[in-house]
Structure 1
Amino acid sequence: MDKYDVKKAHRQLYAPSAKEFAVVDVPEFRYLAVDGQGDPNTSAAYAQAIEALYGVAYTLKFASKRTLDRDFVVGPLEGLWRADDPAVFLSRDKQAWEWTMLISQPTWITEEMVRSAIDDVAKKKAPPAIDAVRLHTMTEGTSVQILHVGSYDDETPTLDRLHNQYLPEHGLAFNGDHHEIYLSDARRTPPAKLKTILRQPVKPA
């Protein structure tokens, strides 16, 4: 049985350079999603969102393999980050951040399968955020991205370059939420070795 892996199927989107910004075209993807706000390091809602997302993601994986004979690798955790003032990302004012945490899903995962997986997880574990999990479809289109290696709190110089140098120099402006893709497991990886894709949808200024 071939096992679908979003990182391999869309390698150009999940394996960017750490040296230079790259312009990519991001097609439609489907995700499990949970919305929230606040500091991800201290917010109980954030931890509960992650627990619920992974519970549903693995339930879907096993159900797909069992009922459809189609297996897949559970995708990396991803996050959309937004705020009324984008400057809070540079100042790291995390209490002002709003977020949507995501895990990508293969195209054959349906709304009905997601609802069934949510019901199964609710019956077995009942994580607090389970009712907040939803299937979300998103097309980011033209985006600029780069790989950041290091602590999440060390992203500021790269984001400053993106916001205040690269985008103005190339006549581009924001066209959606700041998007991060977490390629490393923060529980097992030293901060200095964390790998995170930083992506920003853009449009002509």
Structure 2
Amino acid sequence: MKKIDFKKTLKPLYNPPAGEFASVEVPQMQFVKVDGDGDPNTAPTYRSAVEWLYGVSYATKFAAKAALGKDYVVPPLEGLWWADDPKSFITRAKDQWRWTMMIMAPDFVTRDMFENAVAKTSGKLGQPPQSLRLEPYGEGLSLQTLHVGSYDDEAPVLARLHGEVMPSKGMAFNGPHHEIYLSDPRRTEPARLKTILRQPVSIEPALLTPALRA
């Protein structure tokens, strides 16, 4: 049985360049999701969310293998991040952050598989988070780059994206900041962490310079 690795089959989504922002069209996919808020380093709900996401994701993986004969590598953890003031990501005011943590579930994972996986994981972790769900999510046109380094070193990269790259392209925000964690922070030193930074965008004609409009 061949194991599917979505980082390879969906390579444009998981292999952006480092040091520059590339455009990518992100299709609709389904995800296991949990919502929360606050500093991910200290909020107990964050740790619980990640435990549940991995528990359910591995349970659905084994269910798909048994029922459908389809095996796959569980995709990386991802996070959608937003705040009332986007500058809080540059200033790293983490207590102001809101988040949705998620892991992609292949389209052949059914709702029955998901619900059975939740029930199975409940036997280990207890009552599931109220916001735990399986739902589609699509972003469309986005800019993304590969960041190598600690999470707190993202601030200058995001400042350049928001203050230079997006305005120069006549682009506006079209969804929350998105991160995809390619490294395990428990086993990787901060300077070597690999994180995809993605921002869904829209083209705003009013923001274009005359030269760009032409």
Please give the range of the TM-score, normalised by the shorter of the 2 chains. Answer: over 0.9
Would the aligned equivalents of 1:29 and 1:104 in 2 still touch at CA under 8 Å? yes
CA distance, structure 2, for counterparts of residue 199 and residue 12 of structure 1: 12
Identity among equivalent pairs (%): 54
**8 Å contact 2:183–2:193 — kept in the other structure?**
yes
Per-residue CA deviation, residues 82-115 of structure 1 (Å, 9 max, x unaligned), is: 1111111111000010000010111101111111
Corresponding residue pairs, total? 204
Unpaired runs of at least 5, structure 1 = none
**Residue type of the alignment partner of 1:28:** Q
| CA–CA distance in structure 1, aligned partners of residues 50 and 197 of structure 2 | 19
TM-score with structure 2 setting the length: 0.93
The residue that corresponds to 2:105 in the other structure is 105
Is contact 1:64-1:71 (8 Å) kept? yes
Structure with the greater alpha carbon radius of gyration:
2
Counterpart amino acid of residue 81 in structure 1: W
Contact 1:48/1:128 (CA < 8 Å) preserved in 2?
A: no
Residue 135 of structure 2 corresponds to which residue in structure 1?
136
Contact 1:52 1:127 survives alignment (8 Å): no
After superposition, where does 1:25-36 map in structure 2 within 5 Å?
A: 25-36=25-36
Contact 1:51/1:127 (8 A) holds in 2:
no
**Post-superposition offset of 1:81:** 0.2
Partner Cα separation in structure 2 for residue 127 and residue 153 of structure 1: 33
Q: Distance in 1 between matches of 2:172 and 2:150?
A: 26
TM-score, reference length from structure 1: 0.97
- CA-to-partner distance for each residue in 1:5-49, whole Å, 9 max, x for gaps? 211111011011102110000001111100000000000000000
Residue 186 of structure 1 corresponds to which residue in structure 2?
A: 185
Q: Partner of 1:41 in structure 2?
A: 41
RMSD: 1.0
Aligned to 2:23: 23
Aligned equivalent of 2:94: 94
Deviations 1:109-156 (A, max 9, x none): 11111111101111x213454553210211100000000000000000
Q: Distance in 2 between matches of 1:118 and 1:181?
A: 23
Letter in 2 for 1:200: Q
